[in-house]
Amino acid sequence: MKKKRSTRLTIPLFLIIACTSLIAFVSACGEEEPTATPVPPPTQAPAPTAAPAPTEAPEPTAAPEPAEEAMAPSSDGMRGGSIIRGVSRTLRQWDYNTEAVWFAPQSLQRHYSNLVRFDPSDGTTILPDLATEWSIGDDADSFTFTVRDGVKFHDGQDLTLEDIKWTFERSKSPPEGERYPRLLALQSITDITIIDDNTITIEIENPNAEFIQNFAAAWGIVFAQHVMEQEGGMNGPDRVVGTGPFIIDEAEMEEFVTSRSNPDYFIDAPDGDPFPYLDEMTTVALSDVEARIAAIQTGRVDISSFDPAEFAPAVGALNAIGDTVRMEVSPLAGINYLSMNANGPPFNDLKARRAAYLLFDRLRMQQLESLPTGEFASVPTGFFGTVDPFIDEIPDIWEVSKDSREEALAEGKALADELGITGFEMVVNSRSFFQELAQLAAQVYADAGWEVTLNVGDSAANAELIQNANFEMSMSTPNVVLPSVSAFLLEQYLPGGREANAAPPPDKIYDLLADLQGATDPVDAHAATREIQRVMREEWIPVVPMGKQVGSSELIANHVQDRPGALGQWFNLHTWMDVWVDDNSPRK
Amino acid sequence: MRDYIIRRVLLLVPNLFILATLTFFLARVLPGDVALGLVAEDGSVINQEAVQVIRDRLGLNDPMPVQYARWMLQLLQGDLGKSDVSDISVVKVVAETAEVTFLLAILSVIIGAVMAIPFGILSAMMRGRWPDQVIRTFSAVFLALPNFWLGILLLLALVTWFSWSPPIFQETFLDAPVEQLQRLILPSIAIGTSFAAVATRLTRSTMLEVLNQDYIRTARAKGLFPNRVIVRHALPNAVLPVITLSALLFAGLLNGAVVLERIFALPGMGVEIVTATSERDFQLLQGLVLVLGAFVMVWMLLIDLLYVALDKRIQLE
């Protein structure tokens, strides 16, 4: 009897307490109506794994198109509304020139302008920005820009040529204690001269027609001198003052950046009013991939950005979410390659480097990197990634082609046997994607008879090993946005560049580089590039190219529109001025 | 009591000194430094010259004893320093992240306790019968489940079935209490459930022990209602170990439920510490660890005082 009575009395007590917690949870969840993701009109099928188009060779002296015409969308955008974009990280510093990674430009570049800019649809064509016209000196060592009148900074002050001069002098000679890792090339500026009210000339140390691309790159933005020279410098969002299509409104470091449209932006849309179409644009950090997928699925964000490392989950998410969201892929200029330490054995020997180069089967690597969908997640590359004008020819070159692969493998094995090399240790970043990639690379070498031991560490730990030349090989995945073959050579492979432990180049490389930089005719530039590649493959071999990830991907709600095909292209270099939302947007 | 509190507070000073010293030297055992973190990309160092300039600016090229002396001098002046990466003061970082961390810890403990105590009592009261079996089975299951996995499942379930996910913008609790609760509720349930799995078993076993005590038998023999026997006589003693466990969990959560903070994009202290470690932001790392150390020490003091208040048999001296 006693037992029964106590049970009767305990259960209600338990139920009361348990129900209280349940009610608290339900009420917390139910405060906000679930955001319905609007069903958009049918749109074109996504092409998540399409290989990027081959990069056109730059035309160094091409006459610029008028700005509005060059950037005109094929159809009128709709004005108003806002979008929220979820990214893995946002900024860590207000002056994004001070850091190397591209999280900061993703959130801040839309507030600034460059002298010239890349066309977002291909990432290589130069378009007008602050400068409406430009010319390259006969010796390819000076650039003259004609700058627009009447451009205003977000604080209402006029942009002057002094601001441009100050910006690039700062890049050339950073203040004490500062360095701008992505602006290394600008240190070769020798002189900046203001010619008249609208004309400025920038001279560089050595002839290089491709140098103009540095002014278009994400880090080559123009600052307001009067803001930057205020006490404290770039110490908060109120110092993010540019001339770009968006004005910073509210921001929290590492969390979000909200911007409103700049009504005085200097480039007009086809409807005659200034870009941008959107009233507001927000970038928010959602570090976890599942959180980003959930946010786009529930309409909390309109665009979710995914790194190459998150490509597979993004494809999976697309399949799960269905037709309210599409995917677009941004080609990356960067490549994955294996860095060899030429300051010590075994790769201080050209034969060992050649063995490593020949034993690495790039087509096999591509095959191993296939996505669950069966598509390839990477394309084989040479030393210059997508800026290589001959990237399409890579699968057909002797050491890569299926037809001659056996021969290349045999030569590689013979060299390895001669030197007695049976494998090596590879330094790898601890992030899971890089470990997976390294395991695939190890598999490729294992197929060729070499054993690879992986040494896994975080970015700073690996950088120390590499800086101290305390490694044999490392897997390098530079997501660099280097604009040209010459920039790749200078900033990656030649002494003073990133590959500090690469083998010193044969002297002829310098002559060929001078030929390339001085070439004003694309035919001459192509000839020089071909010869550089031959020398690199046969007489130098600074690295072993692995391949290039197809790109980072974006899941985009179908109510977000822009020029056809442009939204997913070169997203990290995008100022978002020609993006709009249609009437289905919950944020219209 | 007053002497005891003063003594414990004074003990904070050497404890914090030891913590600061350990943190300083242990952080530097890690390979690499913040300059490499800022300038390195995966597999290469972008600009060697920039590395040296940053090291000079931050004093990383100075001998370690000089860096240590500078850090100690800074602490003596009451300055926790600034982040080497973002140049934001450590105090500001703590102020911005503490709310999330504290609320997450408090909510998790409350949810865990709300589940554990009634389930533990029920399980003890119905020992050997089906509710007991069910509760013990579920507590074993939730004990085995990693809480971050449970968090992801909860998130995906709400997204799939209700098209709902937590708000993505961080606001203070005072400005937007509902939104903040919505952001915190899923990770709190995930942590609270794991905690409840342990606490339920603990409550059950202590309850069973207490229910067999003479004073409970006496209370029953005096004719008190069973409900009153449990609530007034058994529960206060049975719940003491759960309070201990909750206090320890709370202290642990102050250091951050890192994975759950990441999954739910909560800008808490745990994420800050992990980021500072991976970026080798020593100033921020040292400052955060020191502040958290102080929090935990004060918290443990409060728990000791709470014991005295709850159980008169416990003496501080």
**pLDDT, tens digit, 9 for 90 and up, residues B96-145:** 888 999 899 999 999 999 999 999 999 999 999 999 999 999 999 999 99
Q: What is the mean pLDDT of chain A?
A: 82
> B39 and A458 in contact by Cβ < 8 A?
no
B168 contacts on A by Cβ (under 8 Å):
84, 86, 284, 286, 291, 295, 300-301
| pLDDT, tens digit (0-9, with 9 covering 90-100), for B148-159 | 899 989 998 998
On whether residue B216 sits in a domain, the answer given is yes
Check whether A42 has a pLDDT greater than 50. Answer: no
Residues B63 and B172 in one domain: no
Residues B11 and B142 in one domain: no
> B119 and A498 in contact by Cβ < 8 A?
no
Q: What pLDDT is recorded for position A491? A: 81
CA atoms of B213 and B224, how far apart (whole Å): 15
Cβ–Cβ < 8 Å for A540, A506? yes
Q: What pLDDT is recorded for position A364? A: 93
Q: Which of B50, B76, B102 is the last residue of a domain?
A: B76
Residues B119 and B161 in one domain: yes
ipTM comes to 0.77
On whether residue B82 sits in a domain, the answer given is no
Check whether B22 has a pLDDT greater than 60. Answer: yes
On whether residue B58 sits in a domain, the answer given is yes
CA atoms of A215 and A299, how far apart (whole Å): 37
- Partner B, chain A 382-421, Cβ-Cβ below 8 Å: none
- Closest of A233, A516, A578 to residue A389, by C-alpha: A516
Tell me which residue in B42, B115, B119 faces A434 most closely, judged by beta carbons: B42
B231 contacts on A by Cβ (under 8 Å):
13
| Smallest Cα distance from A523 to chain B, Å | 31
> B45 and A460 in contact by Cβ < 8 A?
no
| pLDDT, tens digit (0-9, with 9 covering 90-100), for A369-393 | 876 666 677 888 899 887 888 988 9
Residues B60 and B106 in one domain: no
**Number of domains within chain B:** 2
Check whether A64 has a pLDDT greater than 60. Answer: no
| pLDDT, tens digit (0-9, with 9 covering 90-100), for A313-338 | 787 788 778 788 888 776 666 688 99
Tell me which residue in A28, A461, A476 faces B43 most closely, judged by beta carbons: A476
Q: What pLDDT is recorded for position A315? A: 79
> B189 and A31 in contact by Cβ < 8 A?
no
On whether residue B97 sits in a domain, the answer given is yes
A172 contacts on B by Cβ (under 8 Å):
none
Check whether A18 has a pLDDT greater than 50. Answer: no
Name which of B47, B51, B135, B185 to mutate to probe chain A: the one with the most chain A Cβ atoms within 10 A of its Cβ: B47
Cβ neighbours for B216, distance < 8 A, ≥ 6 positions apart: B210, B229, B233, B234
Q: If pLDDT is split at 50, 70 and 90, which confidence band does A443 have?
A: very high
Which tokens in the block code for residue A188?
């070769």
Helices A2-30 + B90-125 axis angle, to 10: 150
CA atoms of A360 and A356, how far apart (whole Å): 6
Which tokens in the block code for residue A376?
């390839």
Q: What pLDDT is recorded for position A191? A: 95
Residues B101 and B212 in one domain: yes
What global pTM score does this model have? 0.75
Q: What pLDDT is recorded for position B142? A: 92
Q: Which chain B residue has its CA at the smallest distance from A179's CA?
A: B50
CA atoms within 13 A on the CB side of A512: 21
Q: Which of B49, B76, B103 is the last residue of a domain?
A: B76
How much is the average pLDDT of A280-284? 95
For residue A311, what is the enclosing H or E element?
A: helix A311-321
> B87 and A467 in contact by Cβ < 8 A?
no
- Partner B, chain A 62-101, Cβ-Cβ below 8 Å: 84, 86, 92-93, 98-101
Residues B143 and B59 in one domain: no
| Smallest Cα distance from A327 to chain B, Å | 19
- pLDDT cut 70: percent of chain B above it: 96
How much is the average pLDDT of A448-459? 91
Q: What pLDDT is recorded for position B256? A: 61
Q: Does A300 touch chain B (CB under 8 A)?
A: yes
Name which of B28, B33, B41 to mutate to probe chain A: the one with the most chain A Cβ atoms within 10 A of its Cβ: B41
On whether residue B84 sits in a domain, the answer given is no
Residues B127 and B72 in one domain: no
User: Can you name the residues that pair with A454 across neighbouring β-strands?
Assistant: A426
Q: Does A478 touch chain B (CB under 8 A)?
A: yes
Q: What pLDDT is recorded for position A53? A: 35
Residues B244 and B135 in one domain: yes
On whether residue B171 sits in a domain, the answer given is yes
| Smallest Cα distance from A459 to chain B, Å | 6
Residues B225 and B152 in one domain: yes
On whether residue B316 sits in a domain, the answer given is no
Residues B187 and B44 in one domain: no
Q: What is the residue whose two structure tokens read 């290089």?
A: A208
CA atoms of A109 and A129, how far apart (whole Å): 13
Q: Does A436 touch chain B (CB under 8 A)?
A: no
Q: What pLDDT is recorded for position A573? A: 60
> B165 and A429 in contact by Cβ < 8 A?
no
Check whether A121 has a pLDDT greater than 60. Answer: yes
CA atoms of A522 and A333, how far apart (whole Å): 20
Q: What pLDDT is recorded for position B44? A: 64
Q: What is the residue whose two structure tokens read 């009592």?
A: B121
Q: What pLDDT is recorded for position A588? A: 85
> B263 and A29 in contact by Cβ < 8 A?
no
Check whether A48 has a pLDDT greater than 90. Answer: no
Residues B127 and B50 in one domain: no
DSSP string, B57-92: HHTTTS-HHHHHHHHHHHHHTT---B-TTT--BHHH
Range of the domain at B58: 2-76
For residue A249, what is the enclosing H or E element?
A: strand A246-252
Tell me which residue in B30, B38, B168 faces A99 most closely, judged by beta carbons: B38
Q: What is the residue whose two structure tokens read 């009575």?
A: A5
Q: How many CB atoms lie within 10 A of CB A454?
A: 14
Q: Which of B14, B41, B76 is the last residue of a domain?
A: B76
Q: What pLDDT is recorded for position A44? A: 34
| pLDDT, tens digit (0-9, with 9 covering 90-100), for B286-313 | 999 999 888 888 888 888 888 777 777 7
Residues B160 and B256 in one domain: yes
Cβ–Cβ < 8 Å for A176, A185? no
Q: Is B132 exposed, middle or buried (0-12, 13-18, 19+ CB in 10 A)?
A: middle
- Partner B, chain A 319-358, Cβ-Cβ below 8 Å: 339
A35 contacts on B by Cβ (under 8 Å):
163
Highest-confidence range of A5-14, A299-308, A545-554, B36-45, by mean pLDDT?
A299-308
Q: Which chain A residue has its CA at the smallest distance from B156's CA?
A: A294
| Smallest Cα distance from A470 to chain B, Å | 12
List the CATH number of the domain containing B180. Answer: 1.10.3720.10
Q: Which chain A residue has its CA at the smallest distance from B51's CA?
A: A179
On whether residue B317 sits in a domain, the answer given is no
Q: Does A297 touch chain B (CB under 8 A)?
A: yes
